[in-house]
Amino acid sequence: MKRGGLILLLIIVMAGILGCDRGKGEEWIELQQLVLEPLVSKELLSEAGLKMVWQSEMPLKVGEELKQLYVIGDRVYGLSSFNYLAAMNRDTGKVAFSRSLGEQAFPVLGFSHFEDEIYSIVGNKLMEIDLGFGEDRGEKNFDFGVVCPAARNSNYFYIGGSDRRVHTYNARNKVQVFEAAAISDSPITYILADEEYVVFSTEVGDVLCITPDRPRQLWKQFKADGAIVGPMVSDRVRLIFASKDTNVYSIDLFSGELEWKYPAGAVLKQGPIVTARVVYQYVEERGLAAIDKITGVFKWQVADGAELLAESGGKAYVISREGKLIVMDNTEGERLYSVNLVGVSRYSANVNDSKMYIADARGRIACLRPVEE
């Protein structure tokens, strides 16, 4: 039987019995929840003050696992260990499309959204995928290794190469326009692009800002004492990023001047999650730290915290490395309560609203939200 055939057959049979119109989002989600084993029990959800909005399940093959979740725009994307991608509406859980991205061995360097497409680096190839039906929109193979996720604006793609250069390509015809590099000639670690600027970082701590259409610097290079780790985050006023020199930095986006520096106390290996008022930074051996976005002042730390799931009503919902949901008061810095979400091992931060997206290795994906809303 083909991938997902048995699950689909069961759902179709149930739909026929119940007379459910698959096109109606709420009824279809209720039907899925009748067929699928719940990822989290109603009792645990009630204890945590949450309700399930929807649950879905990726049709995975034997030996295949859900590798990672991404929340991008109005979609949740599940990527499997076999490079199988499923895109779901993040409000309803309805599947928009699913497809293979290529051979299992090819590394996938993140996903980003631009207008009506998503794009990613798969192996050494740039892939553009239509958001409507998941069809190929365009692609470009490179004759150099790609070392970080691609970035783009309306006119150009920016690709970090193993040759320590940022390669800029016309977004329409994929013709290379120019290259840029740091004076240090250090390897590229991350690229962030907008209509008015392109920022890229390096392994020796350089942060450079250039014009989008040529390698002309907009401000003097910022220098940290260790490699910048992705992602860097911009809120259109400031640029926030983490360095292996143990610090989280906030610099002025228009001048490159330092606003604040937070000493995390350990080498940082991943970038921060940034919301309207708080910067959340994971620190190995120390957990998840919350930092005031404007001042850089420490707010609180969860020793076993791994990542922010979402914020709601002055509360931060944090997932631990063991799958425990921890609720923090973002004003007082107090731990309010926690509940063990048994089996949850995959998740993705959502900085857009209060919905939380969790999953397990077998491909069960659920959307939760606070009952109080």
123: left (phi over 0), alpha (psi -120 to 50) or beta: left
Find out whether 111 and 99 touch, Cβ atoms under 8 Å. Answer: no
Q: Tell me, what's the pLDDT at 35?
A: 60
> Can you list the residues of the chain whose pLDDT is less than 50?
1-31, 33-34
Residues 6+ apart with CB under 8 A from 8: 59
Q: Peptide bond before 231: cis, by omega within 30 degrees of 0?
A: yes
Which residue do the tokens 């998941």 mark? 134
The DSSP bridge pattern shows strands 222-223 and 228-234 to be unpaired
* pLDDT at position 354: 96
Apex CA 350: angle with CA 35 and CA 30, to 5°? Answer: 20
Residue 47: predicted pLDDT: 87
* Predicted pLDDT at 15: 40
pLDDT of residue 48: 87
Please tell me the pTM assigned to this model. 0.89
Q: What does the pLDDT look like over 60-105, one tens digit per residue?
A: 999 999 999 999 999 999 999 999 999 999 999 999 999 999 888 8
